[in-house]
Amino acid sequence: MNVDDVKRTMAIKGIGVSPGIVIGKAYLFDRFDAQVPLYHLNNKTLVQREVTRFRAAVKETEIQLQELKDKLHDLGDKEPLYIIDVHILILKDRRFTDATVEHIREKAVNAEWALRITIDSYREIFDKMEDDYLRGRISDIQFVGQGILRNLAGKKRETKTDIGEGIILVAKELSPADTAQTKIDKFLGFATDFGGKTSHTAIVAQSLGIPAVVGLEKITREVTTNDDIIVDGSSGMVIINPDPEILRRYEVKRRHYQELKAISLSSARMPAITKDDFRVDIGGNIEFVEEIPSALEHGAENIGLYRTEFIYINRDKLPTEEEHFSSYRSIVGVPGLAWTTIRTFDLGGEKFFSDPKLGREMNPQMGLRAIRFCLKEIELFKVQLRAIARAAAYGKTRLLFPMISSVEEIRQAKKIFQEVREDLISEGSSLGSDIEIGVMIEVPAAAIIADKLAKEVDFFSIGTNDLIQYALAIDRVNERVTYLYEPLHPAVLRLVSQVVKVGHDAGIRVAMCGEMAGEPAYTLILLGLELDELSMTPSAIPRVKKIIRNSTLEESRELLKKVMTFSLSADIRKYVGKYMRGRFPEEFLING
């Protein structure tokens, strides 16, 4: 595919009303939405004819609603029935129909236009209501109005009965009637422009357990049918045309989310302490600030990784310092989170989402990415660093630099941060005084010189996604080589083991924030490696914590010692898999 054909990634925030993550193809539900015409009627006969036409359309709408109600009743789908009753009551409400007839007569206009005037006057009244639920009920009137408009135009409702697999419904708003007629249970998820927590979409989605995000305002304008789309009903984010990296990450999130269904969240906030008293701090990885509530709910004790590059999605212009600040401010000092680790942007290469042209490098993964990009674009880097230093005044903050491969780079980054701090002090800004500085250990060179890097920083965070990619020379988004992507490769285990040891020798904490940290099958291996912190996608936390609480450091060390004697990754995988299935049969029923 030509790079210019790559569709731009876009993230839109709405209201998550039914939790869960789905990835699929968009289907733009084109409910008949008449462009309401206006024409004047210049004699009494025409006016009378228009009134008759309007009343006939009302009658027809009522018959259709009644038919729909009977159909739903036969299907045993009781939930939406009362809503259809409400729609029928509106139709029968003389104030609604009489007002429209009056507009036709008084203003000598066509029925469509008169109806629009009636609906608009209702909207004005509803808009003033304080109660969210009542305000949202304008959608019932709009729905009824659309039914009448459709009949006035002589068009039948669009029905979609042959939905394929993996389709996500995108619509302005869905009524239960719409959803009933579109074989709702075939859809993976919903994303709508309108609606709130009590909208029909929300009610129906929850009762069917289908992830949904509503109130997206412009989703129908941005999406075309067949676009790739991700709906995260937990955080309220919808991502259109995700790039391969985002897609991969959300596939992991989705899998953890599905596995989580079997586990209760009641003990999620309990600490991860082994039976022999070894504590691992468990953090959450987030991409959007909206994910904080979900991180807390799933038991995150801190934010171990905030991937700030996501601030750049759907932008033409770079974010200002204030925009950065407001994001960071909202995730720093959150009650229940011990600290927030803000990683400076990992942009460049393939990660400059907004402009694919910037990704035109032969080997973008090895290109001008992350800290390399920032050290070239110092002014842009400083904007972010200023915002982080300011936000740190509000709670414990850790600053994390990605893709460090030499002591020179970390020294340079620290120097720039120091300059930024001095500038802020001289400007009289308040800023955090105890910001810890860490490096991602994700380039093999950094792992090899970890002893030198340890002297420069307060903590390490091992990024296994990249560390594995670079150590094993496997492009992490190239599906042709995924079979070689092996976290349990002896080389990976050795690298991690060495980094932990060197970090501890230097007296600094060592975290892991790559996807490997959240795989329950690896939890004992990671315990045996004695990582101080594991940070992962929030939905992975409850299972990992549960395993830690039910094991001992001693057995984990034994397991690690044993597998370190193997030469083949396949043998390690087999051995660890068997061990974990034997020890935690309940946890590994699903994926073996």
Q: How far is the CB of 305 from ligand PEP (least distance, A)?
A: 6
- Quick note: the x/- pattern for ligand PEP over 279-308, rule CB under 6 A, is --------------------------x-x-
Q: What element of type H or E holds 335?
A: none
d(CA 410, CA 480): 34
Q: Is 374 one of the annotated active-site residues of the chain?
A: no
Longest dimension (CA), the chain: 96
Please give the DSSP secondary-structure letter assigned to residue 481: G
Residue 514 binding target from ligand PEP, Mg ion, none, CB below 5 to 8 Å by type = ligand PEP
What are the φ and ψ backbone dihedral angles of 430, each rounded to 5 degrees?
-85, 140
d(CA 413, CA 245): 25
Q: Which of 281, 301, 442, 456 binds ligand PEP (CB under 6 A)?
A: 442
Q: Is 513 one of the annotated active-site residues of the chain?
A: yes
Binding of residue 346 to ligand PEP (CB under 6 A): yes
> Among 78-86, 128-136, 465-473, 565-573, which window interacts with Mg ion (CB under 5 A)?
465-473
- Quick note: the x/- pattern for ligand PEP over 400-439, rule CB under 6 A, is ----------------------------------------
Q: Which is nearer to ligand PEP, 344 or 464 (CB)?
A: 464
Binding of residue 464 to ligand PEP (CB under 6 A): yes
Task: Fill in the amino acid letter for 178.
Answer: D
Q: Which is nearer to Mg ion, 441 or 580 (CB)?
A: 441
Helices 111-127 and 138-152, packing angle to 10 deg: 170
d(CA 243, CA 439): 25
52, 319, 329 from 315: Cα distances, Å = 52, 8, 20
- Quick note: the x/- pattern for ligand PEP over 471-510, rule CB under 6 A, is ----------------------------------------
Q: Which is nearer to ligand PEP, 306 or 328 (CB)?
A: 306
Cβ neighbours of residue 485 under 8 Å, at least 6 residues apart? 468, 469, 472, 474, 476
d(CA 13, CA 29): 20
Binding of residue 50 to ligand PEP (CB under 6 A): no
Q: Which of 16, 211, 444, 463 binds Mg ion (CB under 5 A)?
A: 463
Binding of residue 466 to Mg ion (CB under 5 A): yes
How far, in whole angstroms, is CA 428 from its chain's centroid? 37
Binding of residue 466 to ligand PEP (CB under 6 A): yes
Task: Fill in the amino acid letter for 248.
Answer: R
Q: How far is the CB of 442 from ligand PEP (least distance, A)?
A: 5
How far, in whole angstroms, is CA 356 from its chain's centroid? 21
Sequence length of the chain is: 592
Q: From the candidates 200, 256, 298, 324, which is the catalytic residue?
A: 200
Residue 439 binding target from ligand PEP, Mg ion, none, CB below 5 to 8 Å by type = none
Q: Which of 309, 442, 515, 532 binds Mg ion (CB under 5 A)?
A: 442
Q: Which residues of 169-207 are buried (b: 16+ CB within 10 A; e: fewer)?
A: bbbbbbbbbbbbbbebebbbbbbbbbbbebbbbbbbbbe
> Given the rule CB under 5 A, which residues bind Mg ion?
442, 463, 466
Catalytic residue annotation: 200, 513
> Given the rule CB under 6 A, which residues bind ligand PEP?
305, 307, 346, 442, 463-466, 513-514
